[in-house]
Amino acid sequence: MSRQVTIALGQNDCELGNLSANLEKVERYIKKASSKGADIICFPELGTTGYRQDLLGDKLWELAEPIPGPTTARIGLLAQKLGIYVILPMIEKGTMPGIVHNSAVLINKHGFVQGVYRKSHAYSTEGHYFTAGNSYPVFETEFGKIGIMICYDMGFPETARALTLQGAEIIFVPSAWCQEDEDIWDINIPCRALENRVFLAAVNRVGREGEDLVMHGKSKIVDPRGKTLVEAARFQEDLIFAQIDLDILVSARHQIPYLKDRKPYTYELLTKRL
């Protein structure tokens, strides 16, 4: 099993509510990433539809799709043709009418849906629209195990730790992170990587939705020490790459053994409601 993997992050803008146009852009990014040797590409939070639930209104439910569904089938055909994994955030139609999730689907290089992560921590008014997930799945690939958390999830150390304890070696973070919190973006990414001794790849939107939401980009891939390997531009579309070697996780976890030195029997307070 190869432990070398090339990650691509598609830092794009998208047109609110225009699924067709957004998917065409996603496909262009996938083709370009594949042509440059990427094994996995990840896109920003709700990158197929745009983010603002309040501005979408009733169209939010019209845009929701089951997984698997039409969008995953379309992107799956391209993933299979190019032999690339795709992490595609989208509005997922729930199993009951009126239920939708803020999700990210992993489509493997054979074109099949390998799994879905549903955002667990609702930011601001998201909870008025989306039903939160309550599990942290980890997905096996020929390179290693990967986990996914979405945007605001990154502010909760427990999310990344739960993924790590299930074996995640790379954690992807699709996001629609606002310009006002750029400083928090720069803090959270290296912290989650360092404290779990994992690679972390966080991809952010660019563009504006409404008058009060500007997303600054600055997607980045960091190593298990929290060191930035590559960082995307601010306020413009970009496609960035990093080749990483998962074998270094062994030495990284020997050097600073946060996982070995945990004392979970002393953490009872963490599971109590305030």
d(CA 50, CA 60): 10
d(CA 228, CA 208): 26
Residue 143 has which token pair? 């390179």
Active site (annotated) includes residue 158: no
Is the separation of the CB atoms in 132 and 118 below 8 Å? yes
Catalytic annotation, pick one of 14, 25, 42, 45:
45
Active site (annotated) includes residue 24: no
d(CA 100, CA 184): 28
Catalytic annotation, pick one of 14, 42, 151, 178:
151
CA dihedral 77, 78, 81, 83 (to 10 degrees): -110
Active site (annotated) includes residue 45: yes
CA dihedral 190, 192, 193, 197 (to 10 degrees): 140
Catalytic annotation, pick one of 25, 109, 119, 220:
119
Cα dihedral across residues 46, 47, 49, 51: positive or negative? positive
d(CA 111, CA 106): 10
Residues labelled catalytic: 45, 119, 151
